[in-house]
Structure 1
Amino acid sequence: MSQHMSPLALRIAETKPEIASAQTLRFSVFVTEMGGRGGDQTDVGRGIEADRFDQHCRHLLLLDTLRDNRVVGTTRVLTVEGARKAGRFASEEEFDLFALRKSGRVLLEIGRTCLHPEYRGGGAMQRLWQGVAGVVADEGAEILFGLASFPFDDPTSLAKPLTNLWQQHLAPESLRPQSRRPFAVPIIQPKHVDRREAILRTPSLVKAYLRLGGLVGEGAFHDPAFNCVDVCMVLDTARLTATSRALYAGERA
């Protein structure tokens, strides 16, 4: 199916019910599926996952037009102005963003990205990135960043994919977030890391960042509220390759 025939449509949530529809999908993924508690304003009775940053974010909705505009994907973006109103970026609860703030670049934070299980592994993630690209253009953002999560089911299985990330994709010091409470990961020598296995164990959102030229901050952070281990990804929009830029904008390379 070609790009323009896709039944998936993008919209920025404009109303409280639209934002709630994103929070409902987030609850089904982060709480029901992943076994986390969710953010500090999560309402189990209503089945919504929420936190205090939501009111300051723009929420992107991915809708299936063939299924009554059902919300099948979402991500939220927090601008510098939104972060100022919130008191900080959401990622700063886990990572020190001193280097990013000191860079003087225009920052844009991405968070709470998730897809309904039936829409994973296809073009839905790319479609969400197209929505983010629109906000990037609107804001003149130069640096995208945000948390990406590894499931916490088996912490020992994280050693190889995390080691591979830090060995191959570590952000330069000038743009490198630092974990505020580094999660202990067994040190593995590069020769003992099977890169293919490591990549297979790497979550799709992390791989999406990497395909677009993204890099990773230093250290990981265990977030018990979401039953996961987070890394902080950084994407310098100026460093996108021509192919990645085409993918990012949703064009044919």
Structure 2
Amino acid sequence: MEIEANRYRVKLAETPEEREAAQRLRFRVFVEEMGAEASAEQRTLRREWDDFDPYFDHLILETGERVADPLDRVVGVYRLMRGEVAEAGTGFYGASEYDLSPIAKSGRRVVELGRSCVAREHRGGPGMHLLWNGLAAYVLERDIELLFGVASFPGTDVDALAEALSYLHHTHLAPPDLRARARPEHYVEMNRMPQDAVNAARAQKAIPPLIKAYLRLGGFVGEGAYVDHAFNTIDVCVIMDTTRMTERYRAFYERGRRKS
């Protein structure tokens, strides 16, 4: 799979250098920009990785612009783990935060999304759209039925996000058959305000763009949040069921298939 447009190219990482370039971008965004923890080795190499990386497919967005370091050519990334790979390997990354048994037991083809990021200077332009087209092609080529993964709010102050978390709980909670739940030892209540006290417009402004994009495309959230102190984030579990897609969601992914 490979898609080119404007000055960008999106593809699956195939070489060690391409995977290292994805990790370099993750270091820039998650460690340098967002304040995630990193080991001394990661700081020396300026790459962010974990034990799950070998089991994921790494969807990368490359720029055609001239760069001094080849590892800076990747300006967007998605980490993708198919259900069959998780079963044969280490399991899903999100299982440390959420009980994913409703998803794992669904008997459907699934993929876990994670570590999504775009370099600051390439946000808000055609690059992100191309990365989403690459994700669309990946999903359609593999007949994926469920997409899920943890998505993050910056910071760890739950009270500051009470309205946004409550809004998600009241308006976008996943149906019971797909409702992943934060593990009891980490469970943070999202239902922090009664629904009639939530200002929807204000709550939506506090929701990060990636989570809002998932919701616009038919996504739900699991029950409970998780405070990830290592990454300086508050996580929610986002679930997208292709059989429950809105027509807009279907049209987006069908466009991705035609362009791939």
- Give the TM-score taking structure 2 as reference length: 0.88
Q: Within 2, Cα distance between the matches of 1:27 and 1:213? A: 30
Partner of 1:31: 31
Is the deviation greater in 51-60 or in 66-75? Answer: 66-75
Is the deviation greater in 45-54 or in 4-13? Answer: 4-13
Partner of 1:235: 240
Paired amino acid for 1:56: Y
Q: Residues 22-66 of structure 1, C-alpha deviation per residue, up to 9 Å, x if partnerless? A: 00000011111111115x897111011001111011101111223
Q: Residues 87-133 of structure 1, C-alpha deviation per residue, up to 9 Å, x if partnerless? A: 21001010000111121111111110001112223343332221111
For 2:140, which of 132, 137, 142 is the aligned residue? Answer: 137
Q: Residues 160-196 of structure 1, C-alpha deviation per residue, up to 9 Å, x if partnerless? A: 1111111111100100110012124572121221111
Tell me whether 1:149 sits opposite 2:152 in the alignment: yes
**How is 1:48-87 mapped onto 2 (pairs within 5 angstroms)?**
48-67=47-66, 70-87=73-90
Is the deviation greater in 204-213 or in 4-13? Answer: 4-13
Over 3 Å counting, the alpha-carbon distance change for 1:244 and 1:228 in structure 2 is same
SS at match of 1:45: helix
Displacement after TM superposition at 1:153 (Å)? 5.2
Partner of 1:224: 229
Q: Is the 8 A contact 1:158 1:185 kept in 2?
A: no
Partner of 1:12: 12
Partner of 1:44: 43
SS at match of 2:47: coil
Q: Is the 8 A contact 1:127 1:250 kept in 2?
A: no
Is the deviation greater in 126-135 or in 168-177? Answer: 126-135
Paired amino acid for 1:61: I
Paired amino acid for 2:243: A
Is the deviation greater in 132-141 or in 152-161? Answer: 152-161
Q: CA RMSD in A?
A: 2.2
| Matched-pair identity in % | 42
Q: Within 2, Cα distance between the matches of 1:249 and 1:125? A: 17
SS at match of 2:43: coil
- Show structure 1 runs of 5+ residues with no match: none
For 2:207, which of 192, 202, 206 is the aligned residue? Answer: 202
Partner of 2:128: 125
Q: Residues 60-83 of structure 1, C-alpha deviation per residue, up to 9 Å, x if partnerless? A: 111122345821110110012221
SS at match of 2:75: strand
Is the deviation greater in 106-115 or in 119-128? Answer: 119-128
Q: Within 1, Cα distance between the matches of 2:215 and 2:85? A: 26
Displacement after TM superposition at 1:155 (Å)? 2.9
Q: Is the 8 A contact 1:126 1:250 kept in 2?
A: no
Q: Within 1, Cα distance between the matches of 2:207 and 2:113? A: 18
Over 3 Å counting, the alpha-carbon distance change for 1:157 and 1:67 in structure 2 is farther
SS at match of 1:44: helix
Report how many residues are paired: 249
Q: Within 1, Cα distance between the matches of 2:200 and 2:175? A: 21
Over 3 Å counting, the alpha-carbon distance change for 1:41 and 1:9 in structure 2 is farther
Over 3 Å counting, the alpha-carbon distance change for 1:102 and 1:81 in structure 2 is closer
